[in-house]
């Protein structure tokens, strides 16, 4: 053990921490400008090794800053079942990341002691990275951390974040979930998709066509690889494939959702289905333009509604009594929540932002559909739900209609990456649902009408001055902010607004929705001003949008 610690010290000095730099494990790991991250990566290599020893399982480390600009980078830690690392270890990550150079060993030993980690246990870490130019170098720092503590590693190189989550889960379930290879992932998902679209025999080539914006990132590379497995079941026109433009610049799911406009490079014919991935392909949003050229966005809320409608119908046809819930965050459009609760009569839960929170809430149901409005989400099936579906599909006494529904449910389960939100998997599921139900993108969009909304960012000197409660729907600090928001909201019809510090960017996020776009924009601006004034805004005061 002594020799190992000596090695940690030696290697750590090659990955020095800039003195005084403090970073928090945020919504989805550490995220900041890539030039500040070398020591973080080395230390996350150390931490993943400890986590692997503790859980006696393979742990994942993904080098990515997802939707952030190209200059940023970050790291996400993946737990044994492919979910985000557990909260207590997020705390250890922050402790280790912020230890000054001379205190690294002390922090490491503190974690080992607190968690009673058996240091003679073997450790195994899977590594993946996105296409950022800093990612290869930062991946090497993670590998150095793993080897300093004598862990084994497997570097998958360029993969999407959800592919890495998938591989970790496969590895730790003895391949029950699938084969822990990228090829295994393509095979499982594409076979399920091909089975699903067999139930859409009248699907024309036009209906099989989809325009995909790859955000100039890893998703573009991987959607190309996947396409080859789909045997013309889906015809993809790919734009922003990384050959010219910059990652996430004027493109990608976050840009389209926040700006409410198409990405650059996307030529859209009226009514044509288009979608955008984000920088590490764990989010997806859909959109189209109508015959008047008006842009229509189908975000995570619309996706959750489509999927839960489909699943509910199949459960009814199969005669299965399983409870189904939709998990959202404060960003969910008010119309979607009303539709889900009042018309669809499904249970709706609201959690804090961050798929880790939604994932855990979704695990409480037989079927938990979770989506953030930004397009990050998936569906979870409990073990007993999966068993019931499987039994039904094999029962010789089941009539044809129930059997077909059970088989459709089984293929639906197989096309879904249950470990985390996955743009490729979600895309295949959505495409399969639209094809089997014979729905156009306009018909899907018409399920309910979104309330006009606006998202803004405000720069403050320290975003931690904002503290929230009630799943981030109310601010408890700084004093007076919530009262101000309440009185602003009262000025508009059907209005709602909230603020929260981002966990991935150095900004405070502001959300507002109201009966008209003008009201939503005015409310978002007024709330931004309140944040600027009460929470220590920096730079120029926010300007009105019109
Ligand atoms: C990450 C998280 C998402 C979250 C998003 C924005 O997404 O995984 O759950 O919604 O950040 O978080 P925040 O508002 O705290 O900045 P991604 O796709 O960037 O990894």
Distance 162 CA to ligand 1 centre (A): 14
State mean pLDDT over 286-297: 97
* 18 and 100, same domain (yes or no): yes
Tell whether the model's pLDDT for residue 516 goes beyond 80.
yes
pLDDT of 281? 98
State percent of the chain over pLDDT 70: 100
pLDDT of 407? 96
pLDDT of 91? 97
| Closest C-alpha to ligand 1, atom 1 | 28
State percent of the chain over pLDDT 90: 95
State mean pLDDT over 356-365: 97
**CATH code at 491?**
3.30.310.50
**What token pair was written down for 135?**
């990612």
| Closest C-alpha to ligand 1, atom 9 | 354
Establish if 409 belongs to a structural domain. yes
* 92 and 130, same domain (yes or no): yes
Q: Would you say the CB of residue 359 lies under 6 angstroms from ligand 1?
A: no
Q: Would you say the CB of residue 453 lies under 6 angstroms from ligand 1?
A: no
Distance 426 CA to ligand 1 centre (A): 17
Compute, in degrees rounded to 10, the torsion defined by CA atoms 78, 81, 86, 89. -60
Q: Of the listed 12, 52, 66, 139, which one is catalytic?
A: 66
Establish if 435 belongs to a structural domain. no
Distance 69 CA to ligand 1 centre (A): 13
* 131 and 110, same domain (yes or no): yes
pLDDT of 4? 86
* 15 and 149, same domain (yes or no): yes
Tell whether the model's pLDDT for residue 270 goes beyond 90.
yes
Angle at 166 (CA atoms; ends 162, 167), nearest 5 degrees: 120
Q: Is 534 helix (H, G, I), strand (E, B) or coil?
A: helix
- pLDDT band for position 3 (cuts 50, 70, 90): confident
Q: Is 66 annotated as a binding residue?
A: yes
Distance 512 CA to ligand 1 centre (A): 18
| Closest C-alpha to ligand 1, atom 20 | 66
Q: Is 13 annotated as a binding residue?
A: no
For residue 278, is the peptide bond before it cis, meaning its omega torsion is within 30 degrees of 0?
no
Establish if 41 belongs to a structural domain. yes
**What is the C-alpha to C-alpha distance for residues 239 and 22, in angstroms, rounded to an integer?**
38
Q: Which atom of ligand 1 is nearest to the CA of 26?
A: 15
Tell whether the model's pLDDT for residue 204 goes beyond 90.
no
How many folded domains does the chain comprise? 4
Q: Would you say the CB of residue 278 lies under 6 angstroms from ligand 1?
A: yes
* 61 and 152, same domain (yes or no): yes
State mean pLDDT over 413-418: 98
Query: Please, which residues have CB within 8 angstroms of residue 156's CB and are 6 or more apart in sequence?
Result: 126, 127, 128, 163, 164, 167, 182
Q: Would you say the CB of residue 140 lies under 6 angstroms from ligand 1?
A: no
Tell whether the model's pLDDT for residue 202 goes beyond 80.
no
* 145 and 286, same domain (yes or no): no
Establish if 445 belongs to a structural domain. no
Q: Is 54 helix (H, G, I), strand (E, B) or coil?
A: helix
Q: Which atom of ligand 1 is nearest to the CA of 503?
A: 15
- pLDDT band for position 234 (cuts 50, 70, 90): very high
| Closest C-alpha to ligand 1, atom 4 | 354
State mean pLDDT over 190-219: 91
Tell whether the model's pLDDT for residue 201 goes beyond 90.
no
State mean pLDDT over 112-134: 98
Tell whether the model's pLDDT for residue 448 goes beyond 80.
yes
* 125 and 218, same domain (yes or no): no
State mean pLDDT over 420-435: 98
In the sheet that 284-289 helps form, which strands lie side by side, from edge to edge? 235-239, 209-213, 274-277, 284-289, 295-298
Establish if 189 belongs to a structural domain. yes
**CATH code at 379?**
3.40.120.10
Averaged pLDDT score across all residues of the chain: 96
134 classed as catalytic: no
Establish if 499 belongs to a structural domain. yes
Tell whether the model's pLDDT for residue 33 goes beyond 80.
yes
Q: Would you say the CB of residue 299 lies under 6 angstroms from ligand 1?
A: no
Tell whether the model's pLDDT for residue 2 goes beyond 80.
no
Establish if 10 belongs to a structural domain. yes
Q: Would you say the CB of residue 374 lies under 6 angstroms from ligand 1?
A: yes
Angle at 66 (CA atoms; ends 61, 68), nearest 5 degrees: 130
Compute, in degrees rounded to 10, the torsion defined by CA atoms 170, 175, 180, 181. -140
* 112 and 193, same domain (yes or no): no
Query: Please, which residues have CB within 8 angstroms of residue 529's CB and are 6 or more apart in sequence?
Result: 541, 542
* 457 and 390, same domain (yes or no): no
The H-assigned helical ranges of 418-501 are 423-437, 441-445, 481-489
Tell whether the model's pLDDT for residue 432 goes beyond 80.
yes
Q: Lowest-confidence range among 173-177, 278-282, 523-527?
A: 173-177
Tell whether the model's pLDDT for residue 231 goes beyond 90.
no
Among 378, 403, 421, residue at a domain's last position: 421
Give pLDDT tens digits for 52-66.
999 999 999 999 999
pLDDT of 383? 97
Among 277, 295, 313, residue at a domain's last position: 295
* 139 and 17, same domain (yes or no): yes
Distance 214 CA to ligand 1 centre (A): 18
Angle at 420 (CA atoms; ends 427, 509), nearest 5 degrees: 90
Distance 530 CA to ligand 1 centre (A): 24
* 146 and 242, same domain (yes or no): no
Range of the domain at 483: 453-534
Q: Would you say the CB of residue 271 lies under 6 angstroms from ligand 1?
A: no
Q: Lowest-confidence range among 19-33, 105-119, 324-338, 405-419?
A: 19-33
**What token pair was written down for 22?**
């403090």
pLDDT of 208? 87
pLDDT of 23? 94
pLDDT of 441? 97
Q: Is 373 annotated as a binding residue?
A: yes
Among 234, 260, 295, residue at a domain's last position: 295
**What is the C-alpha to C-alpha distance for residues 63 and 159, in angstroms, rounded to an integer?**
10
Q: Is 422 annotated as a binding residue?
A: no
Tell whether the model's pLDDT for residue 206 goes beyond 80.
no
* 388 and 268, same domain (yes or no): no
Establish if 168 belongs to a structural domain. no
Give pLDDT tens digits for 473-507.
999 999 999 999 999 999 999 999 999 999 999 99
State mean pLDDT over 240-257: 97
Q: Which atom of ligand 1 is nearest to the CA of 509?
A: 14
């Amino acid at each position: 053990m002594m020799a190992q610690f000596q090695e940690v010290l030696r290697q750590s000095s090659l990955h020095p921490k800039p003195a005084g730099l403090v970073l928090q494990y945020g919504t989805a790991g550490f995220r900041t400008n890539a030039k500040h991250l070398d020591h973080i990566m080395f230390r996350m290599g150390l931490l993943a090794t400890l986590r692997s020893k503790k859980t006696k399982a393979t742990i994942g480390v993904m080098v990515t800053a997802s939707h952030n600009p190209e200059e940023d980078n970050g790291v996400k830690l993946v737990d044994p079942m492919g979910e985000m690392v557990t909260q207590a270890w997020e705390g250890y990550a922050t402790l280790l990341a912020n230890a000054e150079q001379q205190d690294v060993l002390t922090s490491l030993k503190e974690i080992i002691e607190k968690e009673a980690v058996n240091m003679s246990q073997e450790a195994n870490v899977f590594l993946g990275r996105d296409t950022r130019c800093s990612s290869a170098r930062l991946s090497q720092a993670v590998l150095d951390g793993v080897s300093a503590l004598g862990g084994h590693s497997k570097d998958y190189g360029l993969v999407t974040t959800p592919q890495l989550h998938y591989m970790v889960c496969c590895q730790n379930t003895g391949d029950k979930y699938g084969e822990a290879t990228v090829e295994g992932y393509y095979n499982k998902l594409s076979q399920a998709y091909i089975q699903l679209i067999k139930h859409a025999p009248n699907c024309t080539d036009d209906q099989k066509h989809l325009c995909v914006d790859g955000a100039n990132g890893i998703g573009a590379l991987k959607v190309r690889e996947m396409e080859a497995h789909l045997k013309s079941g889906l015809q993809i026109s790919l734009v922003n494939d990384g050959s010219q433009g910059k990652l996430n610049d004027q493109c990608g799911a976050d840009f389209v959702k926040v700006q409410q406009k198409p990405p650059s490079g996307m030529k859209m014919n009226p009514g044509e289905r288009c979608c955008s991935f984000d920088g590490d392909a764990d989010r997806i949003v859909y959109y189209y333009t109508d015959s008047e050229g008006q842009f229509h966005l189908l975000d995570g809320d619309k996706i959750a509604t489509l999927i839960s409608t489909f699943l509910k119908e199949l459960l009814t046809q199969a005669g299965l009594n399983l409870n189904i819930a939709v998990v959202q965050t404060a960003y969910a459009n008010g119309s979607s929540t009303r539709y889900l609760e009042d018309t669809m009569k499904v249970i709706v839960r609201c959690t804090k932002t961050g798929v880790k929170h939604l994932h855990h809430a979704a695990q409480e149901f037989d079927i938990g559909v979770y989506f953030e409005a930004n397009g990050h989400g998936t569906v979870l099936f409990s073990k007993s739900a999966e068993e019931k579906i499987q039994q039904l599909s094999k029962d010789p006494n089941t009539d044809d209609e129930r059997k077909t529904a059970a088989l459709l449910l089984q293929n639906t389960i197989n096309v879904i990456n249950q470990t985390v939100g996955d743009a490729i998997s979600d895309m295949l599921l959505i495409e399969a649902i639209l094809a089997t139900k014979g729905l156009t993108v306009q018909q899907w969009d018409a399920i309910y009408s979104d309330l006009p909304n606006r998202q803004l960012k405000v720069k403050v000197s320290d975003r931690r001055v904002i503290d929230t409660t009630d799943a981030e729907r109310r601010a408890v600090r700084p004093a007076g902010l919530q009262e101000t928001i309440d009185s602003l909201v009262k000025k508009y019809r059907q209005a709602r607004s909230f603020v929260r510090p981002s966990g991935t960017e150095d900004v405070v996020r502001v959300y507002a929705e109201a009966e008209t776009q003008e009201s939503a924009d005015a409310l978002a601006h007024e709330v931004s001003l309140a944040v600027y004034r009460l929470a220590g805004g920096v730079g120029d005061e926010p300007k009105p949008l019109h």
